[in-house]
Amino acid sequence: MFIYILFSLPALLLAVIAQIWVKHAYNKASNIGSYSGMTGADVAKAILRQNGITNVKVEITEGWLSDHYHPLEKALRLSPENYHGKSLAAIGVAAHEAGHALQHNQNYLPLYLRSALVPVTSFGSNFAYIIFIIGLILIKFVFIGKVLMLAGIVLFTLAFLFTLITLPVEFDASNRAVAILRQAGFLSEQELIPVKKVLTAAALTYLAAAAQALSLLLWAVTEYNRNDD
């Protein structure tokens, strides 16, 4: 247990800091209206239209900051506050998700790699820890324990790779968002300042996720080595 805490605590603290920062930055930018008066949905649709993307739907999805782009369904989904909102936060988030749609349209490789890892990562996030713990319990008694621990390590590794691939995907989408908002004249340079803060804070959450995935992997490998006779 001590080893688990030793590996996981720094990543957990980073995750907490990231969540506090993104909430603060988002709430602050949410209270600043844009001069254009455009909603997040307006901006997302305009970006898609200007780039000749006509097969992507812009929809509402429930949940706070549940905004995302679904490559398979070609749907750009914004939470209610960002779909209808006219704040700098709403516009920044909408432009970021539109950046993912542009990545998809331009065959951005990291986006495809991340999408390919989604099924196995979803399984791993639900069962990797359980599989590894069962293996840890059984390793002193039967050979299957060692196999289960190795299977858990493989799943932890895939989860970590997923978070690594996510980093360039998210950073690139944010860079695209800022460039588009500037070039298309949706926001002034002054308005872009709080938008950049929101996107930077969001980027830290992805770094925190990568750190958490790495901490689990390192813990699993350490436990395996300690118990491998």
Instruction: State the burial class of residue 185 (Cβ atoms within 10 Å of its Cβ: 0-12, 13-18, 19+).
Output: exposed
Please state, in angstroms and rounded to a whole number, the distance separating the CA atoms of residues 156 and 139.
Answer: 18
Q: Which one-letter amino acid corresponds to residue 150? A: L
Position 2 scores a pLDDT of 60
Position 218 scores a pLDDT of 93
> pTM of the entire structure?
0.90
As a whole number of Å, the end-to-end CA separation of the chain is 20
Q: Which one-letter amino acid corresponds to residue 145? A: G
Please state, in angstroms and rounded to a whole number, the distance separating the CA atoms of residues 184 and 206.
Answer: 28
Q: How far is CA 100 from the centre of its chain?
A: 12
Residue pLDDT, tens place only, 92-119? 999 999 999 999 999 999 999 999 888 8
Q: Please report, rounded to a whole number, the percentage of residues in the chain having pLDDT higher than 70.
A: 97
Residues designated catalytic: 97
Beta bridge partners of 68: 77
Domain that holds residue 133: 2-227
Please state, in angstroms and rounded to a whole number, the distance separating the CA atoms of residues 123 and 145.
Answer: 20
Residue pLDDT, tens place only, 163-189? 999 999 999 999 999 999 999 999 999
Position 1 scores a pLDDT of 58
Ranges in the chain, pLDDT < 50:
none
Please state, in angstroms and rounded to a whole number, the distance separating the CA atoms of residues 219 and 229.
Answer: 18
Of 216, 219, 64, the residue nearest 125 (C-alpha)? 216
Of 170, 183, 193, the residue nearest 99 (C-alpha)? 170
Please state, in angstroms and rounded to a whole number, the distance separating the CA atoms of residues 104 and 111.
Answer: 7
Position 73 scores a pLDDT of 94
Position 208 scores a pLDDT of 94
Count of domains forming the chain = 1
Specify the pairing of strand 57-60 against strand 68-70. unpaired
Please state, in angstroms and rounded to a whole number, the distance separating the CA atoms of residues 129 and 126.
Answer: 7
Position 45 scores a pLDDT of 97
Position 120 scores a pLDDT of 81
- 79: how many CB neighbours lie within 10 A of its CB? 20
